Structure 1
Amino acid sequence: MFRSMGIAASGIAAQRQRMEVIAQNIANADVTRGTDGQPYKRRELVLETATAQTALFASDNLAPQSMGSNAARGVFGSPALDVPLSEDGPRPIAVPVLPTQRGKNGPRGGEYGVRVSGIAEDQGEGRLVYEPGHPDANAEGYVRYPDVDTTQELVKLLDAKRIYEANAAVFTAAKSMLRAALDI
């Protein structure tokens, strides 16, 4: 339960940061000269699967269990107790666990969520616009603008917003299930 909240929280944090980068791109779409004297460079957030060592919300009690993929699990992912299967007693519940791919750095199945590995700058030249009266115009009268397409950036912003909302819904659902489990 806590792991699902951690995964959703990592997605929320990553998409919030993605929205900030997109907003920066939109705000600087017409900046022809930055502090370095060059046009603004469009930025893109680079995301990767988080591992146990790089996860934002990982702890020792959230580490993957060493049980098989169809082992019985108890509350919060711990192994289920061996209890008799009687009509009036508690029963273990078998919860399928999604298999993860093993990589050189450990599991790669998204079981620790996502993390931001960096922010990449666009290495393109940008677009040239003929504006002979502009202070940044070259000898031929062309001004180099950043390679930022505001329509594409708005589509990316809507995408990030939807993913943010989906992660928030997962977090809220996990929180309400945890609260219901505590009320039992």
Structure 2
Amino acid sequence: MDLIKSLFVSASGLKAQNGRMRIIAENVANADSTGRTPQDDPYRRKVPSFTSHFDKAVGAEVVELGRVSEDTSPFNTIYEPGHPAADEEGYVQTPNVNTLIETVDMREAQRSYEANLNVIEATRRMVQKTIDILRA
């Protein structure tokens, strides 16, 4: 694979991981968002996916953020009878977001982002070294 292709492939990875981090940040930001009434559902966790395809312009397989789906796991409940969204028994549905899982996912996305960035930096250094050799 030539150096330019590796830049495009890594750039697609950066973009995909950036989208993943935005979704994780949205989940964390809404971890305490409940409904306004007992009939309203609280925030439902979003789960990103990735797809890959052959990019003819680049001549390589690239990755992109795929469909974002909602986590179908059940909502959590807490006993808070004074809350506006409490049911007749005093329970409030809370989002199905586990901040520990989101933190681990964010760390993984960050590491993948850094790995793609390192590939871009290494490729840039190789291109610069090649130019230096050709000048000599």
Matched, 1:42 2:45: yes
Alpha-carbon distance, 1:125 to partner: 2.7
TM-score by length of structure 1 reads: 0.66
Amino acid of the residue matched to residue 4 of structure 2? Answer: F
1:121 to 57, 70, 73: 70
Q: Is the 8 A contact 1:6 1:112 kept in 2?
A: no
Amino acid of the residue matched to residue 130 of structure 2? Answer: A
Q: Secondary structure at the match of 1:7?
A: helix
Structure with the higher fraction of residues in helix conformation: 2
Q: Deviations over 1:114-139 (max 9, x none)?
A: 11122111122311111111110011
Q: Identify the residue that residue 130 of structure 1 maps to in structure 2.
A: 79
Question: What value does the CA root-mean-square deviation take over the aligned residues?
Answer: 1.7
Amino acid of the residue matched to residue 10 of structure 1? Answer: S
Counting only pairs closer than 5 Å after superposition, residues 16-35 of structure 1 correspond to structure 2 as: 16-33=18-35
Amino-acid identity (%): 38
Q: Identify the residue that residue 3 of structure 1 maps to in structure 2.
A: 5
Counting only pairs closer than 5 Å after superposition, residues 1-184 of structure 1 correspond to structure 2 as: 1-33=3-35, 37-52=40-55, 59=57, 62-63=58-59, 111-183=60-132, 184=134
In structure 1, how many angstroms separate the alpha carbons of the residues matched to 2:119 and 2:28?
29
Alpha-carbon distance, 1:11 to partner: 0.7
In structure 1, how many angstroms separate the alpha carbons of the residues matched to 2:88 and 2:54?
52
Structure 1 runs, 4 residues or longer, greater than 6 Å off: none
What is the total number of aligned residue pairs between the two structures? 129
In structure 1, how many angstroms separate the alpha carbons of the residues matched to 2:26 and 2:46?
8
Amino acid of the residue matched to residue 25 of structure 1? Answer: N
Alpha-carbon distance, 1:48 to partner: 1.5
Q: Is the 8 A contact 2:9 2:61 kept in 1?
A: yes
TM-score by length of structure 2 reads: 0.88
Q: Is the 8 A contact 2:20 2:65 kept in 1?
A: no
Alpha-carbon distance, 1:49 to partner: 1.8
Amino acid of the residue matched to residue 50 of structure 1? Answer: H
Alpha-carbon distance, 1:30 to partner: 0.7
Amino acid of the residue matched to residue 122 of structure 2? Answer: A
Amino acid of the residue matched to residue 14 of structure 2? Answer: I
Q: Could you tell me which runs of 5 or more consecutive residues in structure 2 were left unpaired when the two chains were aligned.
A: none
